[in-house]
Each structure stands twice: as C-alpha cells, then as structure tokens.
Amino acid sequence: MKLTSVQLLQFHTDGFIVLRNFLDEKRCDAILEVAKVHLKDKIEPIETEIGYGSSSKEHRTSVSDYDSHEKGEVVVRRLRQVYDRDPLFKAWMQEPKIRPILQQILDDQVVLTTAHHNSIMTKMPNVSTVTRWHQDRRYWRFSDNNLVSVWLALDNENHDNGVLEFIPKSHTMDFTEAQFDLKEYFLEGYEGNQETIATKVSASLHKGDVVIFHSLLLHRANKNSTNKAKISFVYTVKGAKTKTVAGTRSAEFPEILLEVL
C-alpha cells in the first residue's frame, strides 16, 4: 500500500495524515487485551500521571531509566518499551502494510527508534490530565528532523476522551524560545501564539484508524471526561540517514532497521 501523490503532498504540507480503517478490528482487540493486562498489573517500565507532570526538561532529555520508581497507587499514563513486551506489539511495529507509506514519507529506509514513544498511551477516565501543545522532537537528539510517529487508535477516540489535535503546517514554522515555557510547551496565553493555535484541527478516530505525524508538529489532547479508558498505540520511526546523537537518551536503546519493501 502506498500514498497517492495528493496524499503525500498533504502530509508534507500539513504534517500529518489519517489512514482510515487501516488495521482490522480483530488485531486491534488482540493488542488491546494484552495492553489491558500490562496496565492492570502496572508492569514496568511505565510513566504515571504524576511522573508526566513532574518530570523536568533535563530529566526528559537525559534520563534513560524508564521505570516509574513510584510507590502505592499510581495512575498509568503509558506503558513504555512495548516492542519487547509481546509479539503482538512487535508485529504491529514491523507491519509490512504500512512500511511503503513510511518509506515514501521519510524518503529513506525505515528505522524503528525504540528510545522514544514505543508506547501504549492512555487517558484514564476522570483522572487523566490534559496534554498541552508540544513538539515531540524537543527532547529527542538526532542529526535532523526526519522522524514521524505512528498512532493507532485501539478504540474510538473523540473530543470527550482526548483525541489528538494538531496545528497544521506547524512542523515548518519558525518559533522563538519566548513562545514556549521552560518545559517547551507551546504557551496558550502568549499573544503571539493565539493566531497559530486558532488554526487547530482534529478528527474523531475509529478503531483501526492510524495517524502519522511529523516530529515537529504541534499537537495536544484533552483529558478523558468519559467513563471508559482511551488506550492507543504509538511508535516512532526515522530515516536510516538520520543519525542518533551519541551519549544522549536517544542512543540508549536499540534501533531496528526494517527491510525495504
């Protein structure tokens, strides 16, 4: 499967593309069932809601120990390092059907970078928090920006349970430090940002839909105000020509070079 020239142009223009009904519901359900077991048992490494809110920029940039190290009752925000957790997870991250699309977008051979994302993401009902506007690339250390993330909706996602929102074209915009806070979140209250934020878009996702988005694209998500957990799968790939910076967290985990299809 490949993108049409129109779809490829759309991705490069807007910074993201939605692929509807990409993965069949049976596989989504199988992945979801395994994820629920790991979430219920809080199998490390995990990120908690507390850990997400309290981690400094320096911690997010340099620390490669992904265990939560928290005691007692915690709310899991994401399961980390899922590539090696279960064959179902690994199979999706190596899915041949999507690889020609990723090759088109990256214009290069596809490499899984397990240091970043490589996660089951959650928005738990009533206790989840808002994900503020940010660029994923801000804490990653690579030679260039040719990285994209692949987001799989394991069930329906909408405004009420925290579907992703994007600012189209923001991956090509030049920003100043003043437009971000100390953790490099895009400031909603900054006057110079409001016109940009006003262009935000989102689209409800159904089980099996996939979103591919650029590492510099500004995105956010609401908290989950429903009574059902929202659980999604996200991983990141880069082009083979994009090099990891040695000595950084980005270089602390394996990279998997995928065969060209």
Residue 57 pLDDT exceeds 60: no
pLDDT at 206: 98
Q: Tokens 């077991």 correspond to what residue?
A: 37
Q: How confident is the model at residue 177 (pLDDT cuts 50, 70, 90)?
A: very high
Residue 54 pLDDT exceeds 60: no
pLDDT at 56: 62
> What is the DSSP track for 137-174?
GGG--BSSS-EEEEEEESS-B-TTTT-EEE-TTGGG--
pLDDT at 49: 83
pLDDT at 74: 87
Residue 191 pLDDT exceeds 70: yes
pLDDT at 199: 98
Q: Which of 55-69, 85-99, 127-141 has the lowest mean pLDDT?
A: 55-69
pLDDT at 15: 98
Give me the architecture of the 5-257 domain, per CATH: Sandwich (2.60)
Bond prior to 45 in cis (omega within 30° of 0): yes
Measured CA to CA in angstroms, residue 138 lies from 132, 172, 186, 217 at distances of 14, 14, 11, 11
What residues contact residue 184 under an 8 Å CB cut-off, 6+ apart? 57, 134, 135, 138, 139
Per-residue model confidence as pLDDT tens digits over 133-153: 999 998 899 999 999 999 999
Identify which has the larger pLDDT, 66 or 240. Answer: 240
Residue 245 pLDDT exceeds 70: yes
Average pLDDT of the residues of the chain: 94
pLDDT over 90 percentage in the chain: 85
pLDDT over 70 percentage in the chain: 93
Residue 72 pLDDT exceeds 80: no
Residue 66 pLDDT exceeds 90: no
Q: How confident is the model at residue 223 (pLDDT cuts 50, 70, 90)?
A: very high
Q: How confident is the model at residue 25 (pLDDT cuts 50, 70, 90)?
A: very high
pLDDT at 30: 98
Q: For the full predicted model, state whether its pTM sits above 0.85.
A: yes
CA dihedral angle for residue 46, residue 49, residue 51, residue 52, rounded to 10 degrees: 100
Tokens of residue 33, six digits: 């069932």
What average pLDDT score do residues 224-231 get? 97
Distance separating alpha carbons of residues 10 and 213, to the nearest angstrom: 11
